[in-house]
Chain A
Amino acid sequence: MTDAAQLNTLASVADERPTRNASSWYTLLKPYIGSPFNAVVTFACLWLIYRLVTGAWGWLVTRAIVEGGPQTCKAAAGAGACWPFLAAKLRFLIFGFYPYDEHWRPALAVLLFLGAMIYSMIPRFWSRRLLWLWLAVVVTCGVLMYGGLFGLTVVNTTNWGGLPLSFMLSSVGLAFGFVLGVLLALARSSKLPAIQVIAVVFIEMVRGVPLVSILFMASVMLPLFMPDGVTIDKLLRAQVAIIIFAGAYIAETVRGGLQAVPKGQHEAAASLGLGYWLSMRKIVLPQALKIVIPPLVNIFIGFFQDTTLVTIIGLLDFLDTVRSAMRDPAWQGIAVLEGYIFAALVYAVFSYGMGSYSRFIERRLKTDHGHGRH
């Protein structure tokens, strides 16, 4: 660039300084039409929003079929959404092949589960009691779902499905995965070489392959590993795969937290005479886990979504009940998108909720830290 050109550029930069006498209209509109390029962007965005909103409104509302059956929807030939499909299939979508008259049981289990989750998300209630609460909730949910006690009829796991199954797979998977992950993280950051190597090999092998392959392994190979006469339930096999997969990912996150705890904390614990396990449990882990709560919540969101993969090995999770509802001969080829959109909304609500919670926790932990310093 020549000197003259450079001077010109500098001059133009100087000219762009905002003038103070601008009216409120000018300041209001500047972000939208401040420069020619920006004006083009604004109009392109407006056009896009207009198209999206009118298209969605037309399909979801004005052109949608609200009453009738498969034939009404077929006559409309996909011009609008077919809501009777959702209305007719709603309970099947949510509960799958669980006996129709017993739907109150999974419904109660889901409510109990969500209640316990919301309760334990509130920082004020964080204490050791939560562990017992969850134990009670899990046992109650299990009894509700499986039955066999208190005069409840037994419902085999092959009939479980839908949203309760998705919640169960992800929550049990994450709970056990968390324990496994913490143990693996401790092993990986241990000073004993043999234990470290075992942990590294396990973690890297699991993280290096897709979840699908671990699910396959669990569903095909696990029966071969068992001694004769022992058969494991298909659901349990998928659950084991999810626990192993979650454990490896959680281990890496927790390890990050362990590394962030200053060395002085280990030394202080040792000088108080605490052994390895005591110092980990009382001093190091509480600090390490606090640091990694936000990334852990993000991992939880990812695993909640990843439980959909059990569809591939033939379990009826929420996504799969949606798909089998669409395969119903009466509705086949008529409502092809409505089910997916419904499922997407359900997943989005839960994921977005947990994501907002993660951001809230991050902010909260940050301020706590700030107060500690002053």
Chain B
Amino acid sequence: MDPVLADRLQFAFTVMFHYLFPIGTMGLAPFVAAYTWKAAHRRDEESARIAAFWTKIFAINFAAGVVSGIPMEFQFGTNWAAFSRTTGSVVGQPLAMEGIFAFFLESVFLGALLYRRRGVPSVFVAWAGVMVCAGAWLSGFFIVATNAWMQHPVGYRIAADGTILLESIWLVLFSPFAYWQFAHVLCGALLAGGFIVAGVGAYYLLSRRDESIGRRLVRAGTIVAFAFALIAVFPTGDRQGRDVTRYQPVKLAAEEGLFTTEREAPLAIIGMPDVARMRLIDPIYVPDFLSFLSYGNYKANVNGLDAYARDLWPPVEVTYYAYHIMVGLGTVFAATATIAVVLLAFGRLWSARWLLWILMLIIPFPFIANEAGWVASEVGRQPWIVYGVMKTAAGGSPTVSSGETIFTLIGFAGMYFLLGVLFLYLVLREIGKGPSGSEAG
């Protein structure tokens, strides 16, 4: 096997497994902060129990995130030595900021929430929750900024020996590409967080226990999920789509399954890409809509894959399916959350057990949508590791063979399996015990 393909498989596997946990921490962090704040100020038993409950679930998520995340930091060096050596001057910066600014904040203040002494002033507790949330989000920001630079490199120059050197860290951190991408990623996580909270609440209501807490969770969760399901589409999704149209048009063509360049390009809702024949099999189209989404004009010309050399195409099928899964699930989320919020407004939600069932069972799907979005974005970036500047094929480690990488990939799979089982066991046990079983701190 090509060593770089083995490296890609390993990175894809480890990062996709790892990312399950940051979705949880970024999405649940504001709930932890809000519930902790409320408990610290109101001092009623129920709020304190809810805060303690979500802090515990957050902590399990965070620990699994750290344990699965350490390999990510190492892999840049172990498996992508040439990439690290060439781009470290830029890519190393936001990664170092993540470690030094965000990660410490999150871990230290989470420790404060979990292991605080009795009788610690409530102001301190309330702010510790806010700091945990700030840490989780900052962490996400720096990682997305790193990725955004690989998608749309700015603020650098190329030295005589081919090394990429940092010119301006501000351009890297505050490129519009980076912050729209971060906003969209955060929406995805908050949407997941909302559905997790609502789903756990729905579980309590359906099993007729902790009903007062269950209602609070469903109410808060659905409202958050509703808000961010909409913001994920507009403006954040829309803006990111426009950035892709502008800077990575061939990725757009692959995501949308647009093989031929067209004026009045239609939007494919479903269909199977047939790359050999350059067409979609059994598509359902919305006429002219892709032109409108990309350029705000129904008559605009949109470049298809045929406008680009074949060796610059990303893997079309994976990009297309992943993108359509993200968009399709996003639509389902928006619809579900809208119905839930409407029923909530009319006071009908508590008797609509069918909807509570849906809310409970929907929990895994935001995770799938988040992962699919990343797959579309990252596989769609191929064959570039730094878009337009450095090819993925040139990024691997010259001293590491594909066999070694496959071997360690299998090892990671075993370790992650153990971690995954442990995580599910711990989280399900906490949910089973419920907030009423949580000791109010």
User: Do chains A and B stick together as partners?
Assistant: no
Interface residues of A (CB under 8 A from B): none
Q: What is B's interface to A at a CB cutoff of 8 Å?
A: none
